[in-house]
């Protein structure tokens, strides 16, 4: 069985382009939406994403909406904890495909890491 995990130096989830996520208001509070939008750089990437190291500069203090945690996903997306693994894998695969492509090194690394 595939098991979700974050693959370091991927960063696909740090591409925050709001036009790619038209339903932000459905799962973010007004305060979170304001914070989210303030984090989007002119290029659509999070201003806290270091393109050189391909890592988050605020990882330990990142906002709730940047965390893959059962409680967060249940509150934001109504995903039951037992469904989180499969949901997170699908979300990551969609995001990686949209940012880097379905045959990208990032997709290959993710699939290998989670056991697909």
pLDDT per residue over 104-116, tens digit each? 999 999 999 999 9
The CA distances from residue 44 to 20, 28, 69, in Å, are: 10, 18, 24
How far apart CA 101 and CA 95 sit, in angstroms, is 9
Burial class (CB in 10 A: 0-12, 13-18, 19+), 78: exposed
For range 34-59, the mean pLDDT: 97
Q: What is the pLDDT of the chain when averaged over all its residues? A: 95
Kindly tell me if the per-residue pLDDT of 82 is higher than 90: yes
pLDDT band at residue 90 using 50, 70 and 90 as cut-offs: very high
Return the pLDDT at 1. 83
């Amino acid at each position: 069985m595939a098991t979700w995990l974050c693959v370091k130096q991927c960063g696909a989830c740090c591409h925050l382009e709001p036009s790619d996520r038209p339903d932000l208001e459905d799962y973010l509070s007004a305060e979170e939406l304001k914070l989210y939008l303030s984090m989007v750089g002119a290029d659509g990437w999070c201003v806290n994403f270091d393109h050189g190291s391909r890592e988050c500069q605020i990882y330990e203090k990142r906002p709730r909406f940047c965390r893959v945690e059962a409680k967060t996903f249940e509150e934001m997306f109504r995903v039951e904890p037992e469904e989180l693994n499969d949901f997170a894998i699908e979300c990551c695969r969609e995001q990686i495909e949209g940012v880097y492509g379905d045959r990208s090194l990032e997709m290959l690394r993710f699939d290998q890491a989670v056991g697909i």
